[in-house]
Amino acid sequence: MKICVCVKHVPDTAATIKIEGENAFRDSEIKFVVNPYDEYGVEEAVKLKEKNGGEVVIVTVGKAEAAATIRSAMAMGADRAILVKTDSQFLDASLTAKALKAAMEKDGLPDMIFTGKGSVDTESFQTQYRLAHSLGMPVVNEVSTLSVDGKKAVAELEVGGGDKQVIEIDLPCVIGATKGLNEPRYPKFPDIMKAKKKKIDEMSLADLGLDASAPGVTVEKLEPVPERTGAKMIEGSVEEQVTELIRVLKEDEKVL
């Protein structure tokens, strides 16, 4: 079984983002990691490989620096990787899906494709759907339980209010992984060292016949989140505190 896992190179969620110009951020001072939701996809793919044999291929669209993130994913047990290089900090979901599709077709289409349910940076939640549509494959997102038997997969996902939906789909398919599907492993030192020797095939968008300047979604402006004001202490009796709190919410904050 050949399994591809789409992995995104994203800023650590604890990083402090400093904006440069109108629509970019300073990435030289930021720690980048595997998109957290993608880790569930990597872990599930590796578990399937360990059970059924085959190979796991990481596929990434990003800057050259994304190779470090790819190595982290390969240390979890993936066999090799493909990096489609781009200079853009923000690549719209449509072009990303086209690049992933073209890279997979060039390498040979897999039996299964895993993604995270979404990325923690742009949070567009579109790539897996666009990729599946372009490949003519069924897709299920936010999968928290998965079983694969031959050419069939049964996926369970939450649909709100604590309700769950169970879907049976044919392989090949696209699975969007989320928290609860598994517990991603922490690579051991020998695995990290082995990952440094694993193969990463690098190519450009042009190599895949894609135009990075083609019309698409672009980021026009980035703005920092406004800093929170200091806390205001309300004193007096319980009745006085409640009365003052209601006044503040109505008159000052205007949320009531």
Which H, E and C letters describe 53-73, residue by residue?
Answer: CCEEEEEEEECCCHHHHHHHH
Listed in order, the ranges of the chain carrying CATH 3.40.50.620 are 2-208
Q: Which amino acid is at 255?
A: V
Look at residue 225 in the predicted model and tell me its pLDDT. 74
To the nearest 10 degrees (0 to 180), the angle between helices 127-135 and 93-107 is 40
Query: Do residues 27 and 137 touch, judged by C-beta distance below 8 A?
Result: no
Q: What's the predicted TM-score (pTM) here? A: 0.82
Task: Average the pLDDT over 242-251 and give the result.
Answer: 90
CATH 3.40.50.620 fits domain 2-208: yes
Distance CA 212, CA 1 (A): 32
The lowest-confidence range among 123-137, 208-222, 237-251 is 208-222
Mean pLDDT, the chain, integer: 89
Distance CA 38, CA 128 (A): 12
Task: Average the pLDDT over 22-50 and give the result.
Answer: 88
Give φ, ψ of 99 to 5 degrees. -70, -45
Look at residue 255 in the predicted model and tell me its pLDDT. 79
Q: What is the pLDDT of residues 169-200, one digit of tens each?
A: 999 999 999 999 999 999 999 999 999 999 99
Give the pair of three-digit tokens for residue 78.
Answer: 């993936």
- Does 27 score more than 80 pLDDT? no
Residue 40 belongs to what H/E stretch?
helix 36-52
Q: What is the pLDDT of residues 97-138, one digit of tens each?
A: 999 999 999 999 999 999 999 888 877 888 999 999 999 999
Look at residue 215 in the predicted model and tell me its pLDDT. 66
Q: What is the pLDDT of residues 52-63, one digit of tens each?
A: 999 999 999 998
Look at residue 97 in the predicted model and tell me its pLDDT. 93
Distance CA 35, CA 13 (A): 9
Q: What is the DSSP letter of 30?
A: S
The Cβ of residue 201 has, within 10 Å, a number of other Cβ atoms equal to 14
Choose among 172, 158, 167, 127: nearest CA to 35: 127
Distance CA 218, CA 153 (A): 36
Task: Average the pLDDT over 73-87 and give the result.
Answer: 94
